[in-house]
Chains A and B, each alone.
Chain A
Amino acid sequence: MLARRFPGGVLAVSTVSTVLVVDDSALMHRVYEVMLRDRPMLHAHDGDEALRLIDQRSDIGLVLLDINMPTISGFEVLDRLRAAGRVPGLPVIVITTEGRDEEAARGLAAGAAAYLTKPFRSEQIRDTIARLESSAKT
């Protein structure tokens, strides 16, 4: 088991797990490859591909999920993961361009572990992941 849920709802991610990046932007996939170059990574360009990979791969320990995608949105992916019982066990960080509080609240209520808005700096995403990882160690 690569991710655990702790009392208080804190999700934890193991440092050896694979990161699944879900985004329809090839640019953002490149951004994540550079920012998180020390981590094994899988890439999904839409929600359907993401759901398929999560189903097939047991090594995925963290999901970076873009909300604004054309076919099915990140919120819908999150809803399907929750219906399948995968979240909140599998840590999901929702990524969006909108900085509205209601979007953050919706993502967190749907089972996301954290929320980031684009454009973000590398230390922001690394700090968010580190925060989840530090919970795994305690």
Chain B
Amino acid sequence: MTDSESTKPGTLPGLVNGDELVRHLRDTLDRAASLAGALSEALARISPQQPQETEPAFQERLRAAETDAHDLASRLVESENQLGRLMNLYVATYQLHAVPDPAQVRATIADISVNLLGAQQFVLLLRRDETADWEVALREGIRDPSAFPLYAADAYTIGGDPQVDATLVDGSLKLGPFTDSTALAVVPLKFQQEVLGVLVLLKLFDHRPPLRADDRELLDLLSAHAASALLAARLFAAKDRRLKTLESLIRLARPE
């Protein structure tokens, strides 16, 4: 191709005459037609069979997808909540049995009540050894004893709170609110049918929502594991005291 032909108006580079131009145009149109055909096939594959039903069918699929997404989100939230509850149960169990010391177990019960349950005011009643009395072993968050006179002294007197009295006898967990009691919940510390004491929750922190069914798992755990931890700690402390006594006797008896 000469420079003059390439620059001639109405020509395309590489085409010499009108016939070639027509052939080029025909080829281009054929290619365009084949591309259009391929595009139509592709659209037909992704489009509904009956174009007049596209809108309702699409809306239905959209609603179903939204419902599925909502269900998945709800399940995810529930899984997160379940994981949180399991974590609390694990930590509470671990810490209750971590140190076999009665004072430490009592402190852990208080810790669980404050940090995991969100209890602002509560008392722990424990059976005094070999007696029928119930000692007020722990009193938390009660700055004014007159607010809860039943627990102001060192011992709790049977006949003071019906819900507490019933729990001390039957050993069953009670969730309030109650009409005949100031307690929000009464949690028995029970080991093999023997009630060692009760945890009486009197008030939650203001920002804490009321006790729910979800909290029952932690309260049930406290009921069983706090009792067994307390019993184990008492036995360990008793054995430790005897061991120290024997060691002292041996030291005294040993010749210098």
Q: Which of B83, B90, B115 contacts A28 (CB 8 A)?
A: B115
Q: Is A99 an interface residue (CB 8 A)?
A: yes
CA distance A28 to B112 in the complex (A): 9
Question: Which of B125-133, B167-175, B193-201, B204-212 faces chain A?
Answer: B204-212
Identify the stretch in A7-15, A42-50, A82-90, A116-124 within 8 Å (CB) of chain B at 4 or more residues: A116-124
Task: Name which residue of chain A comes closest to B80, CB basis.
Answer: A123
B135: Cβ under 8 A from any A Cβ: no
B87-A97 in contact (CB<8A): no
Q: A122 and B87 in contact (CB under 8 A), knowing A27-B92, A30-B95, A99-B206?
A: yes
Contact among A25, A34, A123 for B115, CB-based, below 8 A: A25
Q: Is the CB of A97 within 8 A of B111?
A: no
Whether A119 contacts B208 in the complex (CB less than 8 A), given A27-B91, A27-B115, A31-B91, comes out as yes
Which residues in A have their C-beta under 8 angstroms from that of B208?
A: 99, 119
Given known A27-B95, A99-B207, contact A118–B111 (CB-CB < 8 A): no
Q: A118 — which chain B residues lie within 8 A by C-beta? A: 114-115, 118
Closest chain A residue to B207, Cβ basis? A99
A25: which B residues are within 8 A, CB to CB?
111, 115
| Contact partners of B87 in chain A: CB under 8 A | 31, 34-35, 122
- Contacting A at CB under 8 A, from B69-113, are 80-81, 83-84, 87-88, 90-92, 94-95, 98, 108, 111-112
Q: How many residues of B contact A (CB 8 A)?
A: 25
Residues from chain B with Cβ under 8 Å of A117 in the complex: 205, 207
CA distance in complex: A118, B227 (Å): 25
Q: Determine the distance from Cα of A97 to Cα of B110 in the docked complex, in whole angstroms.
A: 13
Q: Are A97 and B120 closer than 8 Å at their CB atoms? A: yes
Which residues of A in the span 92-117 have a Cβ within 8 Å of any Cβ on B? 97-100, 117
Contact pick for A27, options B112, B118, B206, CB 8 Å? B112
Quick check: is B116 within 8 A (CB to CB) of the other chain?
Answer: yes
Q: Which residues of B are found within 8 Å of A97, using beta-carbon distances?
A: 114-115, 118, 120, 205
Return the 10 tightest CB-CB contacts between A and B, nearest first. Answer: A99-B207, A27-B111, A121-B84, A27-B95, A119-B118, A30-B91, A25-B111, A31-B91, A34-B87, A118-B115
Q: A27-B95, A118-B115 are in contact. List 16 more A-B contacts (CB 8 A).
A: A25-B115, A27-B108, A31-B88, A31-B115, A34-B90, A34-B91, A97-B120, A99-B207, A117-B205, A118-B114, A119-B117, A119-B208, A121-B80, A121-B81, A121-B84, A122-B80
Q: A-side interface residues toward B, CB under 8 Å?
A: 25-28, 30-31, 34-35, 97-100, 117-119, 121-123
- On B, residues with C-beta under 8 Å from A are 80-81, 83-84, 87-88, 90-92, 94-95, 98, 108, 111-112, 114-118, 120, 205-208
12 contacts between A and B (CB under 8 A): A26-B98, A26-B108, A27-B115, A27-B116, A28-B111, A31-B116, A34-B90, A97-B205, A99-B205, A99-B206, A121-B80, A122-B87
